Each structure stands twice: as structure tokens, then as C-alpha cells.
Chains A and B, each alone.
Chain A
Amino acid sequence: MSNAPNPDNCATLSMGTQPINTDDMTTGENQKLSRKEIVREIFAGSRATIPMIVGAIPFGIIFGTLAEQSGLSPLGAIAMSVFVFAGSSQFIALGLLAAGTGPLIIIATTFIVNLRHLLYSAALVDDVKHLSGPWRTLIAFGLTDESFATIADKIRKSDDLWRKKYAQWFYLGSFSTMYGNWILCTVIGITLGELFPDIGNWGLDFAMSATFIGMVLPYLTTRPMLACVLVAGAMSLGTADMPHKLGLMVSALSALSVGLSYHLISRNKKQ
């Protein structure tokens, strides 16, 4: 393989002993990373993701255990973790399946629930500009709440050189740790579900609520955000009787409108 600058090299490189070449389209520099540096960053990314995984483990296991009783086959549960790789929407899909909801509404709900990932990708745009297509595909596929939180935190604390040179390897470490763990936990969950059919009553599903509570709290710094969360909570109870859990979509969209309106009105007043 030539060492000429070529952005497509990054993802298809074989892990040879020679220095590996990551290219920087924006500066045209030919920066060389040693294999040691790459391994170091992958491990650093993996380590930084461990706190997030503590929350994801019970989450993944309970997903696996609940799959069969919700009407999803073991193979389907594994396929979902492998191809969809989005915990909260997988969880919600189980709830919908159990309620006998059709595939189209499940897909639409998945869209709404995962729409927040658009925000994550928007935040990373500046950091992928110099990366190749395969890298961007991989980063997009692995953009979970956990990996985003990990890489965003690291980027905030790092300089420009690190962001250009090392960030993708750090992310690769975070992503592969999350992904491997998620699939493993799904398989463990399926096995446990077969061994202990009453595991659904153990309350492991509270892990999801605890994780989401911890994720929502940092947002509550402005009045529009507070209004948004209050509307989402009240509406979700008021619409709980709607068929096919449509209440989730209705509540989220109402809360978003209220928060956005409040924000725009209070900003106009200030001007």
C-alpha cells in the first residue's frame, strides 16, 4: 500500500509493523502514527467507556431476557443488537411488540426515540471532516449515547492536534468496547431468560430509568428546558392510554414545541 496521502487509507489499513499513515485533508500534513500510539488510544477509549458500560450491562442483559416473552425470537434479539445497536429504542420496541404493535409504528417510534443522535452527529461534524468515508460510516454506526458522551468529554479536554490525529482511534476503542459488550450482554440475557423465566420481575429494568434520569438532569439548567421536561412528563402520563405507545411520540413532540417556543419567546423579549 502506498504511503501517499489518501483519506481512504485510514479504515482499510492493515495493521503492519511499519508506521501507519493517517492523513489530514485540511492541512495536507503527512502525520505518522506508530502502532503503539494507535493501540494506546484504542485502549484509552475503551477504558474511558467503562463507567458508561456499568449502566449498559444490566440494560443489555434485561433486553435479552425480556426478548422472548415480548415476542422477539432469540435470533431476532441478537440481530437487533448487532444491526440496530441503540439500547433505548430496542427496549421500547420490545414493549411495543408485547403490545402487538405492527412493524411500521415500531420503526416510526425508533426514529423519534433515536432522533437525539442527530444532535450527537451535529456535534462531531468538525471532527470528521478530514476522515474517510469508511471511518465516517463506522463513527455513525457506533454513535450511541455512551460513546458520544465519552468522546465529547475527551474532545472537550483535548487540543486540536489530538482531535485531528488520535480522536478516531480513541473512538474506535470506545465503540468496539460498547458494541462487544452490548452483543455479549444480549446473549447473556437470552440465556438467563431461558434459565430463569421469572427474571422479568427482578426489576433490572430500573437500570434504564436510572440511566436516563442521570442523562436528563444535566439539561435542567434553563427555564425552557425545565418546561420541556415537565410537559414531557405530564403528557406521557396523560397519553399513556393511546394505542401503540403513540403517546411517547405525542409527548416528546409537544414537549419539544413548548421548550422551543419558550426559548424563542424569552430570547425575543431580551432583545
Chain B
Amino acid sequence: MNEALMIAGMAIVTFGIRYVLLASAGHFTFPGWAKIALDFVPPAVLTAIIVPAVLMPGGNDIEFNLQNASLLAACVAVVVGLIRKDLLTTIVIGMIAFGLFKWLL
């Protein structure tokens, strides 16, 4: 029951976020500062997810060393992403790198 409520709640907030502006299309415009603030949301949220996932793969301690396969693979992904500027290449090479490091270490 708790599970159903949780999923319903997640579905409602997610759909609400995606729907509110499209529903009002044109009748509501953002103030300028809010538009600028929204630009910062994806990098802020995504980075706050990536950094602990990569640096604390065990979930508890920061593993800033060369035995950490996710950290090494993330560095590879960053370099590839900066050079190629292509999402698919970044994902594929990043995952191959992760597999290799995991296998080597």
C-alpha cells in the first residue's frame, strides 16, 4: 500500500512538472530570473548525483585513488565528452573504460 502511494506521488509530481507549462502554453511566462535559475537546475542536480556515485562507489567512504574503477572511467568519459562533444560516444567509451578498469583492477 505504501508502495502504491509512493509511486502515485512520484507519478503526480513528475507529470505535474512536465505538464504545467505545456497546459498553459502561452498564458504564463516566467520572470527572467526564474528562466536563468532553471538553466542551472540540470547541471546542479546531475552533478550532485554523479559525484557521490563516482567517488563513493561503496556508498560510505570517498575512494579517491587509482583502485576506483568508476573514478577512472568517469575521467575517461569527461575527456571523451570534451573532445568529441557527442553523448553516445561518451556513454559507450565510458562504459567500455569502466568494464576494462573493473577487469584490470
Q: Which residues of A contact B (CB under 8 A)?
A: 51-52, 54-55, 58, 72-73, 76, 79-80, 83-86, 88-90, 92-93, 103-104, 106-107, 110-122, 124-126, 128-129, 133, 136-137, 139-141, 143, 149, 203, 205-220, 224-225, 228-229, 231-233, 235-237, 240, 247-248, 251-253, 255-256, 259-260, 263-264
User: A76-B3, A252-B45 are known contacts. Are A120 and B18 too (CB-CB below 8 A)?
Assistant: yes
- Judged by DSSP, the binding face of B is helix
Q: A55 vs B94: C-alpha distance in the bound complex, in angstroms?
A: 11
In the bound complex, how far is the Cα of B7 from the Cα of A176, in angstroms? 21
Judged by a CB distance under 8 angstroms, whether B104 is at the interface is no
Of B22, B50, B78, B94, the contact of A121 (CB 8 Å cutoff): B22
B87 touches A215 (CB 8 A): yes
- Tell me the B residues contacting A by CB distance below 8 Å: 2-11, 13-15, 17-23, 25-26, 30, 33, 35-56, 62, 69-70, 73-74, 77-78, 81-82, 85-88, 90-92, 94-95, 98-99, 102
- Determine whether the beta carbon of B19 is less than 8 Å from that of A121: yes
Contact B47 A210 (CB under 8 A): no
Residues of B within 8 A of A103 (CB): 2, 5-6, 9
Known contacts A83-B11, A85-B14, A206-B95; is A116 also within 8 Å of B20 by CB? no
Residues of B within 8 A of A264 (CB): 33, 36
A residues less than 8 Å from B10 (CB atoms): 80, 83-84, 86, 89-90, 93, 106-107, 110
